[in-house]
Amino acid sequence: MSRPRRPECPRCGAKALEILWGYPDGPPKEGFTTGGCIYNPATDPDFVCPECDHEWRDDEFDTYEAMDKS
C-alpha cells in the first residue's frame, strides 16, 4: 500500500480519504478508508470526504482541478 492521495474535497475543502477496494488484510492506514469487496472502476468513487461524506472519482477531481485554474 502506498501513501494515500489526499486531495481537497470539492464541496467543503477538507482533506479526503482515498478509498481502498477489495478485501484488506487489516484495518486501513491513516488517509485511507475501505469501500467494499466489489469495485467497478467506471462508477465507484476513488475518494470520500470525512467531513461532508461527498464521494467522487479521480477523473472528476481532475475536472475540478482544471476548473479551479481557469
Q: What is the mean pLDDT of each run of 10 residues along the chain (70 residues)?
A: 82 96 90 92 93 90 45
Contact criterion met (CB below 8 Å) for 4 and 18:
yes
C-alpha cell at 45: 468513487
Question: What b/e sequence results for 40-58 when a residue is b if at least 16 CB atoms lie within 10 Å of its CB, and e otherwise?
Answer: eeeeebbbbbeeeebbbbe
Domain boundaries in the chain?
Answer: 17-69
Distance CA(15)–CA(49), nearest Å, equals 7
Which helix (H) or strand (E) segment is 20 a member of? strand 17-21
The pLDDT value recorded for residue 40 is 92
DSSP code string of 54-66:
-EE-HHHHHHHHH
